[in-house]
Amino acid sequence: VLARFRSLVRSVASRRGVLVGKWLGDGVMLVGEGEPTAATVLELHWRSLRACAPLVLRSGLAQGPVMLFEGDDYIGSAVNLAARLCERANPLEMLADAEVARAAPRWARGIAAPDADIRGFTDPVEVWRLVRTAPDIAHMTDPVCTLPLSPEYVADTRPVGEETVGFCSSSCAAAWDSGLAAALREPAVA
């Protein structure tokens, strides 16, 4: 299960341009910008339900400055806040600060949760639950991450022959443009 989880994390994070900062046993610290990191975590929650059972994810996300300390550890208040939010999250829940909630991809939404007193922070923290918004009717599927999309969730498109393919994010469109998507679809030859 742990090997499947780590493989899934590597695959999704690298495709979306997010760094694996550190492995934490059956957890992981991801480092990246707001939208790609939020999209990575949302996709990991969605994919892990099938790929990593019985492992159930819970997540904490925070945005802010961090410092790479001694070349192998990220430190800063955003790291601490993300860890505290993860501790508070229930199974299958993603808790985020307001910055991450505002940076969520189009196919997600933030739901305000009660402000929380978080250990190590003097003021209450504005907490949001991040949820993937399932389309009423999926008109297309992102060809890279395979998320079902309705027109309002499409962040980018590309013409393919006489049709148009839609992407959930700029990172999936960039993966498509780089040819990574084609490599993912083609079977390996030994």
Task: Please count the residues of the chain.
Answer: 190
- Can you give the pLDDT at residue 188? 47
Residue 145 · residue 172 · CB < 8 Å? yes
180 falls in which pLDDT band (50, 70, 90)? low
A 10 A CB-CB count for 118 gives 21
With beta carbons less than 8 A apart as the criterion, state whether 127 and 85 touch.
Answer: yes
Q: Residue 41 has what pLDDT?
A: 94
Residue pair 48/55 in contact by the 8 Å Cβ criterion: yes
Q: How confident is the prediction for the chain on average, in pLDDT?
A: 86
Burial code (b: 16+ CB inside 10 Å, e: under 16) for 45-69 equals bbbbeeebeeeebbbbbbbeebeee
Average pLDDT over residues 146-151: 82
pLDDT tens, residue by residue, 123-142: 999 999 999 886 666 678 88
pLDDT of residue 138: 63
C-alpha angle with apex 6: 74 to 81, nearest 5 degrees? 35
Tokens describing residue 188: 């390996």
51-107 tens-digit pLDDT: 888 888 999 999 998 888 898 889 899 999 999 999 999 998 999 999 999 999 888
**pLDDT, tens digit (0-9, with 9 covering 90-100), for 16-53:** 999 999 998 889 999 998 899 999 999 999 888 888 88
The pLDDT, as a whole number, for residue 190 is 44
